[in-house]
Amino acid sequence: NAGVTQTPKFQVLKTGQSMTLQCAQDMNHNSMYWYRQDPGMGLRLIYYSASEGTTDKGEVPNGYNVSRLNKREFSLRLESAAPSQTSVYFCASSEEPLAGSYNEQFFGPGTRLTVL
Amino acid sequence: GNSVTQMEGPVTLSEEAFLTINCTYTATGYPSLFWYVQYPGEGLQLLLKATKADDKGSNKGFEATYRKETTSFHLEKGSVQVSDSAVYFCAPPPKAGGYNKLIFGAGTRLAVHP
C-alpha cells in the first residue's frame, strides 16, 4: 500500500516550457487535490477533484490545468511555465466527505519545481 | 466565513521543554478539527484530530482539546524531542459550502535543540 505517489520528485524548467506532474493513490479515495507550498505562504489549493469526472478551481488556479484520468490518478499541467510557479507541489487524496464535514487528507511526498 | 488563527513561528525549544502552539478558529457550526505535521522534505501528515466539542485528540505524546467556549484547539506536548522538529499546521474548517477544500496557513515551525 503505497498511499499517494508523485512523479517526478524534482524538475527544472525554462520559462515557457510545459510539463505534467503525475499523482496516483491506491486508497480508493474519491477526492483528490493539488496544492503548492511557498515559503511563508503555507499550502494553497490549486485544484481539486471531488470525484472521478469532476474538477474545480481552488485558491490559485491560474496557469494550471488538471485532469482526473481515472479514480486513481490526478495530473497537474503547466502549459507555459513561469518563474512565479517555482514551488513545491503536493498532491493529496481523501474519502469523499459528507455534506458539512470534511475528512483527513493523505499527502504525497511532493515535487520540487524550479522555473528559470 | 470560516477561518483559523495560528501562532506564528518559529518556536525554538530545548529538548524536554513543554510545547504549546495556539490555534483558534471561527466556524459555522462545530466541525471536526485537525492538526497536521510536516517533517523536513516530506508532505503533510495527520497528527491528531477531534470530531466534537470537548473531544481530545492525541498522538505521539501530542494532545489538543476541542474547546467550544473559547473556539480553540491548542496543540501541547509535555516534553519535546529533537525528532519533533517540524512545521505544524492547524487545519481550519472548510468554508461554508466549501466541500473538503482545506486552506492551510503558513504553519508554525518548531525547532528543538539538544
CB of B44 within 8 Å of a chain A CB? The answer is yes
What does the pLDDT look like over A9-46, one tens digit per residue? 999 999 999 999 999 999 999 889 999 999 877 888 89
What does the pLDDT look like over B1-40, one tens digit per residue? 567 788 888 999 999 999 999 998 877 666 778 899 999 9
Strand partners, A34: A47, A91
First to last CA, chain A: 36
Cβ contacts (< 8 Å) between B37 and chain A: which residues? none
What does the pLDDT look like over A45-96, one tens digit per residue? 899 998 888 999 988 999 999 999 899 999 999 999 999 999 999 999 988 7
Band (pLDDT 50/70/90 cuts) for residue B69 is: confident
What values do phi and psi take at B108, rounded to 5?
Answer: -120, 120
Band (pLDDT 50/70/90 cuts) for residue B96 is: very low
The set of residues, in sequence order, having a beta carbon less than 8 Å from that of B15 and lying 6+ positions away, is B80, B81, B82, B112, B113, B114
For B19, the grid coordinates are 510545547
- With CA atoms as reference, report the closest residue to B5 among B106, B86, B95: B106
Probe site for chain B from A38, A104, A112 (most B CB atoms < 10 A): A104
